[in-house]
Structure 1
Amino acid sequence: MTIGLHRPGALNALTHTMRGQLLDTLIHAQQAAEIRCLVLTGAGRAFSVGQDVREMQEMYRDHAPDLGRLVRDEYNPIVDALLNMPKPVIGLIHGPAAGGGLSLALACDIRVITDQTSFIPAFVKVGLAPDTGASFLLTRALGWSRALAVSLLGQPITAEDAMNWGLAHFRFNTLEQAEIETRNIANNLAEGPTQAMAEIRQLLLQSQGLSWPDVLQLEATVQDRLGQSHDHQEAVAAFLERRTPKFLGH
């Protein structure tokens, strides 16, 4: 399933309506067993430049808005839905991913980029701090020191640096090439053990805040669950029968 941000004339700047539609679509994807992989992308020459500035202008007309409420109520549920998606999420990121758009890109499990891609932690440029999970996700992607530097400077991270720093996983010269390879990656993931992939994401997210004994216990608990899954039992049977396993995602 492909989810597209579609305001190309505004570089896919996020409005109240778009945020609601995106969240509704993600909730549907979470619940639909037939969907085994998601691709999140943007139309036109940008992934997303984040919050729509014109919408903010309206919000500031009478008084300073409650930005905390906006983030808590409209942005955080989206990134939370991505990070708790029970199936893998690929970000096909072409052009700039800035501000809240950067946060959405960081919440994807696998990031496919083009030579025209840039990641822009632009929050500081408007006197704000990273939000929508960016402080958490950027630090884990880049390490504390580099994440702090790019957040303070607010300068674009180029496609080359994104690959060198581990912020992106696949890079292609053109959008057409990236789209073809993204479909191949998505098809491969969609045929895999979906439940195990979701457990892997949660295990890696949670393990960073746990002690060593708690990590070992968590891993054992996860294996308890996965050991009872159809896909694990199918993989064992396929190995013994010398055939390719047919995973059902559960």
Structure 2
Amino acid sequence: MAETFVLVHGAWHGAWCWAAVINQLEKLGDRAYAVDLPGHGMNRADRSKVTLESYVDSVAEFVERHDLKGVVLAGHSLGGLTISGVAAKIPARIKRVVWVTAMVALDGQPIIDPATSPLAAAMESMPERSTTIEVMGKEFLDGLANDMAPAVREYVLSALGPEPIAPLVAPIAMAPYFATGIPSSYIVCEDDQTPIAGAPNWHPFYSSRLKNPTLKFVKSGHEVMFTHPVECARALHELARGE
């Protein structure tokens, strides 16, 4: 039986980042879609007005417009903040939610505290209230691309677009997601060296915030969609089937 995937990108990315994973999922007999969040890729929404709610609404609307059911909803990195909201909004259409080396919020708290974050202050001062990835600095970029071949790194970093601030500083309601009882999974990228505040590794720092998630481990850095799309697709495929 074919599985149905909806894939949500993270900060600075767009639906384009999932192309190789979609190709691999289709080879496994599944259907897969990727969505451009507002202000990303081909979605030309005004970045100064983008919110986390608009991220959630855009994905939920996509699922409903295409009348998708039994959806395995997967989010990469910052996409983890969107997928919990989508699942809570349209739970009857969602079969499983998968965090792909992704952020998991604490209920009622933002990922970035706008009162103390220099990044938030810098983004607030910009006309679009957003920023390019270069602002994150060399340590972040090196961690993000630690296992990329030079040509892949050059392509990915050149393709990334600005990220709006509002989704980063919005309080995240996780309780409505947990109330749905939808199964949770986490794909652990074992070589993810992308710096995060408060812990050395994305797993178990973020994955431990889920309730009894099933785990899949991939020997990859943060940008698994580019460096290990075959393994990423296989992990998604197996999680969808409860393997």
Q: Same fold (TM over 0.5)?
A: no
TM-score range, shorter chain: 0.3 to 0.5
- Larger-gyration structure (1/2): 1
TM-score by length of 1: 0.34
TM-score by length of 2: 0.34
Structure number with the bigger relative contact order (C-alpha 8 A, sep ≥ 6) is 2
Name whichever structure is richer in helix by fraction.
1
